[in-house]
Amino acid sequence: MDFGLSSDQLMLKDTIKRFLDEQCPTTRVRAIMESDSGHDPKLWNGLAELGITGLIIPTAQGGSGLELLDLALAAEELGYAACPGPFLGSSLATVALVEGGDAAQREQWLPKIAAGKALATIAIGEEDSRWDPAMLTAKVVDGKLSGAKPLVPYASSADVFIVAAHGDDGPGLWLVERGAPGIEINTLKLIDMTRHVESVTFRNTPATALGGAKTALQRTIDAGCILIAADAYGGSRRCLSMTVDYAMQREQFGQKIAAFQAVKHQLANLASEIEPSLSLYWYAAHAFDHIRDQSERHAAIAKAHLSDLFDRATRDCTELHGGIGFTWEFDLHLWFRRAVFDRGFLGEANYHRERAAKLAGW
């Protein structure tokens, strides 16, 4: 019984953190997020060189052969740094290929993804916040995909799309390559400027079914829930840390504001919620690979719980900063915006709680 990180995992986290401290300070976050693409290939290559794109790719295809917990640790550090870029979409497309691709598809794409040479993305959600496989309307008929996907991460930069749609056998995953006919991409402006999504419409676009396990679509959604939970944890932890630092510097009424009991108590309340939530995301990530019958439900629970917490954390921390927290120039809103992304992408908290209720048989 060892509910903790291994020394390898601690080293992984530390390596990523040190890279991001150096290569992704908030000045760079802002520069990237204010660019049109919201994507810095140099930064992304740096992360690929660290092994981030290949963490869960088998070693035979050039990856590290690790598990979802390791990928979630990376998500946590990227969340802590508000790192802009296609990590989420790439990670979910990778899960889909690892779990759902056949041997040829895996051999064709995974090595390139691991090396950072191909950017993959995921297209699941549809209008009205439909993220449930059974409710999707995108369809593949005779190898041609048609449907609208309003929230596709970094679609313009992607070399390959993994798309959720209904085929003859029901909902599944399909692979579409960049440049295929019938793809229309419209850019969107999001509150979160560090994680772009675009609206993609497919019209009779040639698509290849992923030939592996049919469970891959749900597993991809579960992985997404867990990675968002980890991002929310990293972001919450960052906001708390910034706010403690600020409260220890800012003086009003002749003392540090940290000495005011109300301020102290708000920070203590936050800390007491954030701390146990770490164990919740760890368990969900561990269950993904090791406790399959608890995996889907825990993923839903972790996503709902942590995205709610991140929302509260960013609000409380902004409040505790007073006026400066509300400025563009101050960095706190970077995480506020990421919390907005986390609460909605893959579906809102109430939806996931309802899923968890159903999965409990209630």
Nearer to other proteins, 84 or 344 (CB): 344
Binding of other proteins by 109 (CB under 8 A): no
Binding of other proteins by 131 (CB under 8 A): no
Of 359, 337, 356, which is closest to residue 347 (Cα–Cα)? 356
Give, as ranges, the residues between 36 and 75 that touch other proteins (CB under 8 A): 69
Of 120, 9, 16, 113, which is closest to residue 57 (Cα–Cα)? 113
Nearer to other proteins, 203 or 265 (CB): 265
Q: How many residues bind other proteins (CB under 8 A)?
A: 49
Give, as ranges, the residues between 340 and 359 that touch other proteins (CB under 8 A): 350, 353-354, 356-357
Question: In terms of C-beta density within 10 A (0-12 exposed, 13-18 middle, 19 or more buried), how is residue 59 classed?
Answer: exposed
Nearer to other proteins, 31 or 268 (CB): 268
Is residue 136 within 8 A of residue 166, CB to CB? The reply is yes
Nearer to other proteins, 248 or 324 (CB): 248
- Which of 30, 106, 286, 337 is the binder for other proteins (CB under 8 A)? 286
Element holding 98 (H helix, E strand): helix 87-100
Q: Dump the DSSP string for 158-182.
A: -SEEEEEEEETTEEEEEEEETT-TT
Q: 187 has which bridge partners?
A: 198
Binding of other proteins by 103 (CB under 8 A): no
Candidates 79-87, 100-108, 184-192, 273-281; binding stretch for other proteins (CB under 8 A):
273-281
Q: Maximum distance among all alpha carbons in the chain?
A: 74
Candidates 12-20, 27-35, 154-162, 281-289; binding stretch for other proteins (CB under 8 A):
281-289
Angle, in degrees to the nearest 10, between helices 68-81 and 261-290: 150
Cα separation, 3 vs 198, in Å, equals: 39
Question: Pattern of binders to other proteins over 242-261, x per CB under 8 A?
Answer: --x--xx------xx-xxxx
Nearer to other proteins, 149 or 286 (CB): 286
Binding of other proteins by 78 (CB under 8 A): no
A 10 A CB-CB count for 184 gives 12
Nearer to other proteins, 98 or 270 (CB): 270
The residue behind tokens 């599944």 is: 172
Pairing of strands 120-123, 160-167: parallel
Element holding 144 (H helix, E strand): strand 144-153
Minimum CB distance to other proteins, residue 39 (Å): 32
* Angle, CA 96 vertex, CA 95 and CA 98 arms, to 5°: 60
Candidates 141-149, 171-179, 218-226, 285-293; binding stretch for other proteins (CB under 8 A):
285-293
Of 172, 176, 115, which is closest to residue 145 (Cα–Cα)? 176
Binding of other proteins by 282 (CB under 8 A): yes
- Which of 88, 119, 301, 317 is the binder for other proteins (CB under 8 A)? 301
The site for other proteins (CB under 8 A) is made up of 1-6, 9, 69, 244, 247-248, 255-256, 258-261, 263-265, 267-269, 271-273, 275-280, 282-283, 286, 290-291, 298, 301-302, 304-305, 350, 353-354, 356-357, 360, 362
